A and B are shown apart, each in its own frame.
Chain A
């Protein structure tokens, strides 16, 4: 037995409750349903943009981008129990790396995209290397301060466009395909997000994921039985920043303009809100959170621009109090309760059909 298994097995959940997060043992019993759902989803997401207006395609891309950013944070918070209020900073690193390489360096958008994600991932690993010395609450404080520092720094540096912001060259769709630029960007976003979501799934289902959950549930015990907490958190931090950084890079492509104030504390807190509302420590939760993050301001903003924060905060309080496992947990609960019902209903119908024949 290797160390990872030893740690994963030696630690019980401290409160003995049924944990809201089932990171290690996903539902494996419904492969066909999942496959069918997956194919439907894939078809829908490929066909959908052709049925929508340009700005709706843009919104859809943005929702996926926020989901990816939330996924990065969820890997950290949901799986290691560390809250970062400053993931907006990694988002900014990704966005500005891509934006500056394209606008100033004249790079093609694809290498710039990869460079953005990679730069953020490296930053994350560096921060993670130091951050694991600082535990829990203190860490949240540092990230809060980092989030507050990003906009003034971005305004000060010339290469990021100063206070005026940075105009990123437009991404043009290849003429061969005959699709609009929005749809082309949507496909880029979709492909990158799909690859990263699958990567995240493999990460948390694998050995690293199990050890990480052990660390989250009881860091001191995990350290006591020989886990290298520092190395693990550094790795996890790197991945987390990589994902959120890629989201930032895609943001630069999709929006085409980087304003320093867009990467401040409110974005950082909104990302935390998104993963809690969606469901902590679940990949689906990040997806839901991303869509909430995109569409809530859109609809609430029709009434008043500031209503978003108010609604989001209120939703967050309600969720923390009554549905601590978020929308994803709620869905799982509904599914768990409904599936026996559906099953028994099906048996009943089956039975009555047989009785008649």
Chain B
């Protein structure tokens, strides 16, 4: 029972990270109808930047906040310079553009920092937290708390600020927003920036669990994609919930199903992804779209 609870809490912590990166994917999908394959690599780049800042002596939390800001600006610029150029292009071209960004950022990271895995310290104290007889890793609990905070902030921005209202308007109907006088371009840049900032948080919190190397985010992105598919591509809450479900499923599957073990965990999101897309392509909370000829 102990193992079960601990694995569940640990799964929730990892799952929340998948959900958060999924949230970043949903933010962009809602405003542009595009899945940004480079989202994980954005996170990778800002994590490396934060890592370099800590090596230079800046405390980790300050480095994290700085790179969130840098990531925000970087992604906004990429939206302006690259993505906007293919805004009206067919979906195929947009998809390939995000794959190109994937290659560019991944190549840049490997070029600048090399392939050697780096150890990134945790934001939280090492050790365990005891609740009764149960012991939880402090990093997991800290991760969950940070994620609650971030999700609440995102929710608050979208729900209760005028700025959030405008962002929601742009994501629900771009042309209509333009007609009522919203400047859509800058808002899309903000959307990309926000998504990248969320990614930075994910990268910084997941790096201590894995090792920071240029391939770190490949797997994480797969989990996030599965989370988004499960929750529904246009549902922010669904993405987070999907992430939590997948995190727990992965951890329990790895613990209790013998042949999965630690190294085949990544087949869990694939199975979920394929299952959802075959049975209910819109996901649990997504909108079902119909196409007219």
Contact = CB atoms under 8 A, between A and B. Distances in A.
B103 A269 contact: yes
Is chain B's binding surface mostly helix, strand, loop or mixed? Answer: helix
Contact of B263 (A137, A140, A156): A156
A144 B102 CA distance: 12
Interface in B263-290: 263-264, 266-267, 269-270, 273-274, 277-278, 281
A224 B277 contact: no
A144 B225 contact: yes
Interface in B123-158: none
A152 B267 CA distance: 9
A191 interface: no
A225 B69 CA distance: 52
Contacts of B3: none
A317 B270 contact: no
A148 B278 contact: no
A164 to B, nearest CB: 14
A306 interface: yes
B93 to A, nearest CB: 5
Residue from A142, A145, A307 having most chain B Cβ neighbours under 10 A: A145
A320 B103 contact: no
A309 B108 CA distance: 8
Contacts of A273: 96, 99-100, 103
Contacts of B218: 148, 264-265
Interface string A316-337: 1100110010000000000000
Interface string A147-164: 011001101100000000
A136 B103 CA distance: 21
A76 B240 CA distance: 34
B62 interface: no
Given A134-B281, A148-B219, A148-B266, A220 B293 contact: yes
A83 interface: yes
Contacts of B108: 306, 310
A221 B107 contact: no
A312 B107 contact: yes
Contacts of A136: 91
Interface string A181-224: 00000000000000000000000000000000000000011001
Interface in A217-276: 220-221, 224, 264-266, 269-270, 272-273, 276
A314 B274 CA distance: 32
Interface string A261-298: 00011100110110010001000000000000000000
B54 interface: no
B222 A144 contact: yes
Given A138-B281, A272-B96, A306-B111, A313 B86 contact: no
A305 B108 CA distance: 11
Interface residues of B, number: 49
A81 B92 contact: yes
Contacts of A148: 218-219, 221-222, 266, 270
Contacts of B269: 145
A13 B69 CA distance: 44
B80 to A, nearest CB: 14
Interface residues of A, number: 51
Contacts of A146: 270
A305 B101 CA distance: 18
A141 B35 contact: yes
A141 B104 contact: no
A341 interface: no
Contact of A324 (B93, B110, B263): B93
A83 B226 contact: no
A133 B278 contact: yes
B100 A316 contact: yes
B293 A138 contact: no
A46 interface: no
A311 interface: yes
Given A144-B222, A148-B219, A276-B96, A310 B103 contact: yes
A85 interface: yes
Contact of A311 (B97, B105, B107): B107
A304 interface: yes
A126 interface: no
B85 interface: yes
A308 interface: yes
Contact of B267 (A153, A265, A307): A153
Contact of B97 (A130, A137, A156, A317): A317
Nearest to A130: B278
B16 to A, nearest CB: 20
B89 interface: yes
A320 B93 contact: yes
Contact of A85 (B85, B99, B106, B107): B99
B56 interface: no
A266 B106 contact: yes
A309 B215 CA distance: 13
Contacts of A320: 86, 89, 93, 96-97, 100
Contacts of B216: none
Interface of B: 35, 37, 82, 85-86, 89, 91-93, 95-97, 99-111, 114-115, 214-215, 218-219, 221-222, 225-226, 229, 263-264, 266-267, 269-270, 273-274, 277-278, 281, 291, 293
Given A145-B222, A305-B110, 14 more contacts: A77-B92, A141-B277, A145-B273, A148-B219, A221-B293, A265-B218, A266-B106, A269-B102, A308-B107, A312-B107, A313-B105, A316-B100, A317-B104, A324-B89
Q: Which 9 A-B pairs have the closest CB atoms?
A: A309-B107, A313-B103, A310-B107, A306-B110, A313-B104, A316-B100, A306-B111, A145-B270, A309-B103
8 contacts: A134-B281, A148-B270, A152-B263, A220-B291, A266-B106, A272-B96, A306-B107, A317-B100
